[in-house]
Structure 1
Amino acid sequence: MLLNSLHNPWYISELHILIRLLLALLLGGLVGFEREQSNHAAGFRTNILVCLGSCLLMLLSMYGFAAFVDEPNVRVDPARLAAAVITGIGFLGAGTILFTGKSITGLTTAASLWVVSAIGLAVGAGFYFASGITTFMVLVTLWAFNKLEKRYISSKKEQLLKIRASDVSQTLRSMNGLLADKKIVIRKIQLEDCENDGNIGLVMLQVYVTLPKSEALLALLDQIKQLEGVRWVSSE
């Protein structure tokens, strides 16, 4: 059996290797371009490298050990490196997930990296239609569905309000009435002294609230600043 035979499943020409690597670069770049436009951690180059590396490992797994196929006691599994890629990409994706104390961000970026690695593996295996249509679906999900989610699903957003006040009881009563009138839900309140900051006699209120989408944050902060006893207010 000749390794340079086109009918040999363990052989691939250099031209087809180049085509698959270029296609992986293109498809990974399309997803990366969308992530770059949205200012995410894993952007244009990161997605290209993930897709290109996955494609190369798939090619290596399928064709890189063709010389050992006919060796006795050697069992060649074309999917062995692909399984390692799927496991290993989780560590890269985990690095894009951030916990800020009140929310978790980066899950979509981590998921996109995982999908891009799968696209690279599919290109490396020669599944051009599957990899192409998957790239199209990923772009639709990241772009079109994101706009739909912001408009129709994400109608509320959580904010952390930090308030320094001299009269906690009065401030809480006034703020509770203000937020109730605006139908703003209070999720959690934390109190701590500000003595370490040189503001003796002041108390820091950390108020976690859920704002309706229509509520203007700057206008709300200005109204809280006007409440009796409030010295300083900010949001995160």
Structure 2
Amino acid sequence: MQFIAAFELRDFLDTVVSLSVAFVLGTIIGAERQYRQRSAGLRTNVLVCVGAAVFVDIAMRLHGADGAVRVLANVVTGIGFLGAGVIMKEGINIRGLNTAATLWASAAVGACAGTDRVAEAVLATLMILACNTLLRPLVNRINRIPIDESVSEMIYEVRVVAENGHVEEARKALFAELKRVNYPVADIDLDSSAEDTTEIVATLVSSSVVASELNSAIDSLRALRGVSHAGWEASTSE
């Protein structure tokens, strides 16, 4: 059997240490994610961490450092696809970026363990935990600071709800009013999910606006026949 001929106890014990380190550190990272009820929790982070360690460890044993480097490049690419699976887009909002980044970092920890860089793996784990825990209060504090829309890049949407028989009229009026106040439209969508009305959503090209100018356009749109609602909203671009 090839197994008997190729088996070396010292190399096997080295692999046991590498994978055990990856398992423990992946568990630590995953436990924090599981506690916060993220989509990629304990088991996912452990699997990513141990899987990366296995690939890099076996490459080291078969082809040395050169083999490990080639596998590392493919691990980084592969985890990128896995991370894309936990990113969700809800309207103009994107969720899951931090979870995807944590998975990517877990793979890096596993790669360190697979190349027997245990100290580096531990250090990376501590950095990941610090990012996901210690920086959270700072993030919350920054998020509570009122946004100065005059200096921040924002996404502005103008929404008009019109009766189905007046949609085309409302759409043309929306373009005309936004053109009048010098806010060109980048994109426009129609949502016909309601039975009798359609929502027209116009995304502006501008990343900053003067509220009074948009309000002037909204007032004109509200006065149109068949329009039941008109308004605008802003959200951050990232």
Query: Normalising TM by the smaller chain, what interval?
Result: 0.5 to 0.7
Match of 1:133 in 2: 123
1:155 to 138, 144, 154: 144
Post-superposition offset of 1:77: 3.0
Question: Deviations 1:88-126 (Å, cap 9, x if unpaired)?
Answer: 110011111122122111111111111110110000001
Name the counterpart of 1:190: 159
TM score, norm. by length of structure 2? 0.62
For residue 31 of structure 1, the aligned residue among 22, 29, 32 is 29
Q: How does 1:1-236 map to 2 (within 5 A)?
A: 12-65=10-63, 77-151=67-141, 153-155=142-144, 187-193=156-162, 197-198=194-195, 203-205=228-230, 207-209=232-234
Structure 1 residue aligned with 2:167: none
Gaps of 5+ in 2: 1-5, 148-153, 165-191, 198-225
d(CA) in 2 for partners of 1:42 and 1:155?
A: 27
Contact 2:57 2:114 in 1 (8 A): yes
- 8 Å Cα contact 1:12/1:63 also seen in 2: no
The alignment's C-alpha RMSD in Å is 3.1
Relative to total residues, which structure has the larger helix share, 1 or 2? Answer: 2
1:189 match: secondary structure: strand
| 1:161 aligned partner | none
User: What amino acid is aligned across from residue 49 of structure 1 in structure 2?
Assistant: L
Q: Which position in structure 1 is the counterpart of 2:186?
A: none
- 2: CA distance between counterparts of 1:186 and 1:123? 43
**CA distance 1:205–1:36, change in 2 (3 Å):** farther
Cα distance between partner residues in 2 of 1:136 and 1:116? 11
Q: Which moved more, 1:96-105 or 1:107-116?
A: 96-105
State the Cα deviation string for residues 56-108 of structure 1 (Å, max 9, x = none): 00111100357xxxxxxxx9633211111011110011111122122111111
Number of aligned residue pairs: 169
In the alignment, is the contact (CA less than 8 A) between 1:97 and 1:104 conserved in 2?
yes
User: C-alpha deviations, 1:39-65, integer Å up to 9, x for none?
Assistant: 211111110000000000011110035
The CA distance in 2 between the partners of 1:140 and 1:102, in whole Å, is 29
CA pair 100-83 structure 1, distance change in 2 beyond 3 A = same
| TM-score (structure 1 length as normaliser) | 0.62
- Offset at 1:187? 4.1
Question: What residue ranges of structure 1 are gaps of 5+ in the alignment?
Answer: 6-10, 67-74, 159-184, 212-236
Displacement after TM superposition at 1:135 (Å): 0.3
Q: Percentage identity across aligned positions?
A: 30
Counterpart contact for 2:79–2:103, Cα < 8 Å: yes
Deviations 1:19-53 (A, max 9, x none): 11111011111111111112211111110000000
Q: 1:38–1:63: structure 2 CA closer, same or farther, 3 Å change rule?
A: same
Determine helix, strand or coil for the equivalent of 1:77: helix
Native 8 Å contact 1:33 1:43 kept in 2: yes
Contact kept in structure 2, 1:157 and 1:210, CA below 8 Å: no
